[in-house]
Structure formats: C-alpha cells, structure tokens
Amino acid sequence: MIKRLLYTIIPVLLLVSSCGFYSFSGTSIAPDVKTITIYPVENRALRINPRLSNNVTEALMDKFRKLTKLTQVPQGGDLVLECQIISYETTSLGVTADEVASKNRLTITMKVIFTNVKYPKESFDRNFAAFEDYPSTVSFDAAEANLVEQIVEKLTEDIFNSTVANW
C-alpha cells in the first residue's frame, strides 16, 4: 500500500517541481522572469482621497512580495506595473418611496499598464474597477475608510491575477 502510494506521489511531485510555470500561489511566472518594477500609483481622479495612491501602491507591492519570488526593483524590471487612479466617485442607488437614496456606492477605477519585457504578448493596458455599497443612513465620511480598504483589496487581487496569475 505504501509503495503504491509512493509510486503515485513521487512522479506527480517531480512533474510539478520540474514545471517552471507553476507555483502553489497560483502564479504562472516564467523561470527567467526575476524582477518587477511597481511605480507609485498616480491619482488622476477628479475627487481625491489623499491616502489612496499610497495605499494602492503599498498593497500591490505587498501582494507581489508575499505571493511571488520576484525581486522588486525601482526601475528596469522584467515586469513593469504602472497604475493611475482615474475615477473615485460615489453614486446613489435604489430610491425609496420618499425619493431618497436607500444605498450609495463608492467606485474606484484604475488604468493599469502592465509590461512584460521578456514576453511582450502578455503585456496589456486596461482599466480595472471595483465598488462597495453602503447604506444612505451612514455618512460617506464615516464609511469611506472601510470602503476604500475593501475596494483596494479587490483591485489589487484583480490586478495581481491579471498580471502573473493569467486569470
């Protein structure tokens, strides 16, 4: 029984470990890609949250540091990530019988330019958006910090998956 199990597990482990494009974090980074440059996120939205650019930059750096073996370099990386916040807006949703919004939504949209220097076909320029709803009974000022934290988490996950997880 144990021999049979070993004969099954060992070939699978060898196959997985020999494949340069697989990792247990879900990334698919070629073995010759070693570095990434993540430029500070620019805030080009009409409405500005002064901490948002730094929060997104740090969240992206942290995500790549924790889930990849890529070395972060200030410039000239094998992968280059340039991001801009292009929209930071609240909208009203669902009007009540009294013609008052029952919910509001904060949406953050980012333009992301991803360049894979070694494999240019994987490069892209696209927008990512994420939102969170909050009740109209809560002021935006009271809800903003929590909403932004949740949206930044969604955005960084989407950007990470699109760049190195090929999802």
pTM over 0.85: no
**pLDDT per position as a tens digit, 52-94:** 999 999 999 999 999 999 999 999 999 999 999 999 999 988 7
pLDDT of residue 167: 55
Count other Cβ atoms within 10 Å, centred on residue 85. 21
Domains of the chain, earliest start first: 29-164 (3.30.160.150)
In sequence order, what are the beta bridge partners of 83?
112
**pLDDT per position as a tens digit, 7-62:** 455 444 444 444 444 444 457 899 999 999 999 999 999 999 999 999 999 999 99
Q: How far is Cα 48 from Cα 24, in angstroms, rounded to an integer?
A: 38
pLDDT of residue 13: 44
CB 134 within 8 A of CB 102: no
